A and B are shown apart, each in its own frame.
Chain A
Amino acid sequence: MNAKKVYPLAFLIPSVAIYTLLFFFPSLFSFYYSMTDWNGFNDRMNFIGLANYRQLLEDTSGFMHDLKNTVVFGLATTVLKNGIGLALALLLNEGLRSRNALRTIFFVPYSLSPLIIGLIFSSIFDANHGLLNGALTAVGLESWTQGWLIDTRFAMPSVISVETWKFVGFNMIIYLAGLQMIDKAYYEAASIDGASRWAKFSHITLPLIMPAITINLVLNLINGFKVFDLIFVLTRGGPGNVTEVMNTAVFREFSAGRYGSATAIGVVLFLLTTVIALSALRLLSSRTEVE
């Protein structure tokens, strides 16, 4: 069979064309813009080399702070989404009667727009009128009430938990898919050998769902590092700059008319995400090469 004839490269043309023209090519401009003094106040767009990047590195209370927050947010949400997602998948995989109903419910948040999720949770977390503080007070835990989104200690954890709330169902689905591909015979054989639950999990389940873990880790890292909408709607990066991340900084710089430095932050974020996502992919898939 002639692969070249049966699988013609012409099939690639529509997607490559659309993607290149409307996404890749315009994005490529970011690299150039980030090395100019492009701004909203005049027509100038001079090439200034790496000056924007240098300025970012010197800006310890601004950019470096946002960078740190981005990493914290990206890693924390990745761990939580995966951990809880896997736990839920394991729970549902036990053949619960209401499995389908629960699966449906857990996935619903993923289908909601970040704008809507932001509105819901800014109301729930409100310090004065919010449902959460109201509930705590009602059960006699008044001392636990907090300004969830306005207290420097709780703002970041609150935002992280909302992001987790949204994506946990998606992770669960991927893990469920992975779990259902495992041949039951493995477990039966292990049971005959008298393996403990933990041994079964660590020797059968975990290695066999490695592809699912890989996919979830990589997608969650990418989503976590790129976060914008949710934080913007919930806290706008506040209080102060406590929940400011790189993409909210891009927005801030763009609003201030400093387009060159805004795109520079965007490029750094892109490179950072690529490096982290690719190394995660490498690391994990080297252990589970399917091909």
Chain B
Amino acid sequence: MKKFGYAAAVCAAALTMIVSGCGNNGNNGAASSQPAAGTSASSPSASASAKPSPVKSDVTITYAAMQTQIKDVDKELAAKFEQETGIKVDIQAYPDDQYRDILKTKLATQEAPDIMLMDAGIIMNNYQPDKYLMDLSGESWVGKMKDWAVNGATVDGKVYGFNLFSVDGWGMLYNPELFAKYGLQVPKTYADFAKVSQTLLDNGITPVYENGKDGWHSPIWVTEVTPKALETNPKLFDQLNSGELKYADVPEFKTALEQVADMNKKGFFGKNVLSNDWDHGYEAIATGKYGMILVYTSYQQEVAKKFPDSKADTWKMFPIPLADNTGFGVSAGGEVQVVSKTTKHMDEIRKYWEFLMRDDNVHSYYNGHDNLGETSLKGVEVKPQTEGMKSIQQESGGNMPMSFEVATTFFDGSIWGKGMQDLLLGSTTPDKLLKQLDDNRAKSMAVAQ
């Protein structure tokens, strides 16, 4: 009986907790604007943030994003916005690999957050924008944004996304001093690239850091040959989208895959390419253990910040020369903020966007996001162009089309990633891989038709 008394005490304690917990969540439905009204008692940290601010508005905007896209500055700006207007922005950071699926489920069940950060480009079609997302074509900021920023957020002639990102692409980052030391020139063809790599390898430097473990990175070796493929076939996007062309019909894709396999075979990626992850890339390239890395143009700033001795901010970039490509394929404008049709706070969201576009806030926003460069707003620049951006623009002669990843339908990043791993493992061939990707794409086309 003694034992039971003990268990009963535990239960009673737990029960009290629930009752008190449910108590303050009972008024949630009515006043969703005051989250955790009862929390301050149990959490000392809450008392610091819960200043008795003058109540100007009791609205909460919910804002969902992938966890890695949220930086400290986003929370700081949200706090500042709340201070000015009383409108709370509840930034919800979701695990990256679950984010898109959760979003689809929430949209389908009318449970979507007010604002959602979403990949720009034709891929927005995957979320049925027509049905679920607010048409923002008439918003006042549309005219203030650069063309790429609006275009990337436009589907079937309607603007769905507020863009506060940067247009960027992927190219080879290298240390010019290192190249000079070995008398190397920026390669324009794959043959030259292979020669450069071989020279580095012969001198004890692994030519290229490739984070094969993550899966999402390796497909970029193929998507970045888009400019070359477009030179051969200007109708590439339309024909891929209509199904007239398959991936296997694009010679540049096959060539790029063959050359990736070739580089791997020649040891240009070093040992254990599939064990390399993104995290360790900074060190690998900063210390000069590796010679080149395939990255976006602001990456060098991150390296310079972590490893100041590397002087990585002075480094340069060139377009990936696979399939003898010389152009620079870019994104559709990265990640844009879309609004759920179910929102009840469109006015508050407008205020939030106006706030974010204010000069001081744009500055802190872009400075707080290391991965961003150029702003999306006409006539506003925050950071000087990186050396990488300058050099790759120059090398590409301004040939900077969108890459097919964001310009064509049903690009399935996870299948591509797995396929590239297979290729690096040697367990598939470029032909087999392209067929597998085409089959997968055909399945999606069939259900979506």
Contacts and interface: CB of A to CB of B under 8 A. Distances in A.
Bind each other:
yes
Interface of A: 37, 39-43, 55, 61, 126-129, 147, 149-150, 152, 232, 236-241, 251-252, 254-258, 260-261
B104 A40 contact: yes
A251 B101 contact: yes
B48 interface: no
Which of A128, A129, A252, A261 is most buried by chain B, counting CB atoms within 10 A of its CB?
A128
12 contacts: A40-B126, A40-B127, A43-B131, A55-B443, A147-B272, A147-B274, A147-B275, A240-B425, A241-B418, A251-B101, A256-B440, A258-B444
A152 B423 CA distance: 12
B109 to A, nearest CB: 12
A41 B448 CA distance: 5
What secondary structure prevails in chain B residues at the interface with A? helix
Contacts of B213: 150
Given A40-B104, A55-B443, 8 more contacts: A40-B126, A41-B125, A41-B447, A128-B275, A147-B275, A252-B415, A256-B412, A256-B444
B440 to A, nearest CB: 7
A239 B276 contact: no
Give the dominant DSSP class at A's interface.
loop
Contacts of B415: 252, 256
Given A126-B275, A127-B272, A39 B448 contact: yes
Contacts of B427: 152, 240
A153 to B, nearest CB: 11
Contact of B126 (A41, A236, A251, A260): A41
Interface of B: 97, 100-101, 104, 125-128, 131, 212-213, 215, 272, 274-276, 280, 412, 414-415, 418-419, 421-422, 425, 427-428, 436, 440, 443-444, 447-448
B101 A150 contact: no
Given A126-B275, A150-B275, A256-B440, A238 B421 contact: yes
Contacts of B97: 232, 236
Contacts of A257: 104, 126, 444, 447-448
Contacts of B447: 37, 39, 41, 257-258, 260-261
Contacts of B127: 40
Contacts of B425: 152, 239-240
Contact of B272 (A55, A150, A256): A150
Nearest to A38: B447
A41 B128 contact: yes
A257 B126 CA distance: 7
Contacts of B418: 237-238, 240-241
A147 B272 CA distance: 7
Contacts of A40: 104, 126-128
B128 A42 contact: yes
Nearest to A61: B436
A126 B97 CA distance: 20
B421 A255 contact: no
A198 B77 CA distance: 72
Contact of A239 (B131, B274, B448): B274
A236 B213 CA distance: 10
Contacts of A260: 447
Contacts of A258: 443-444, 447
B448 A127 contact: no
Contacts of B419: 240
Nearest to A257: B126
A46 to B, nearest CB: 10
A128 B270 CA distance: 12
Contacts of B274: 127, 147, 150, 239
Contact of B421 (A55, A127, A240): A240
Contacts of A232: 97
A96 to B, nearest CB: 26
Contacts of B444: 41, 256-258
Nearest to A37: B447
A88 B369 CA distance: 52
Given A41-B128, A61-B436, A260-B447, A127 B414 contact: no
A128 B131 contact: no
A191 B361 CA distance: 84
A128 B279 CA distance: 13
A39, A40, A42, A251 pick with most chain B CB within 10 angstroms: A40
Nearest to A258: B447
Contacts of A251: 101
Contacts of B212: 150
B428 A240 contact: yes
A255 B101 contact: yes
A238 B275 CA distance: 12
Contacts of B272: 127-128, 147, 150
A127 B414 CA distance: 22
Contacts of A128: 272, 275-276, 280
Nearest to A130: B275
Contacts of B275: 126-128, 147, 149-150
Given A40-B128, A127-B275, A128-B275, A236 B412 contact: no
A127 B125 CA distance: 39
B267 to A, nearest CB: 16
Contacts of A238: 215, 418, 421
Contacts of B104: 40, 257
A260 B276 CA distance: 36
Contacts of A152: 425, 427
A167 B447 CA distance: 40
A234 to B, nearest CB: 11
Contacts of A127: 272, 274-275
A108 to B, nearest CB: 21
Contacts of A261: 443, 447
A155 to B, nearest CB: 10
B371 to A, nearest CB: 23
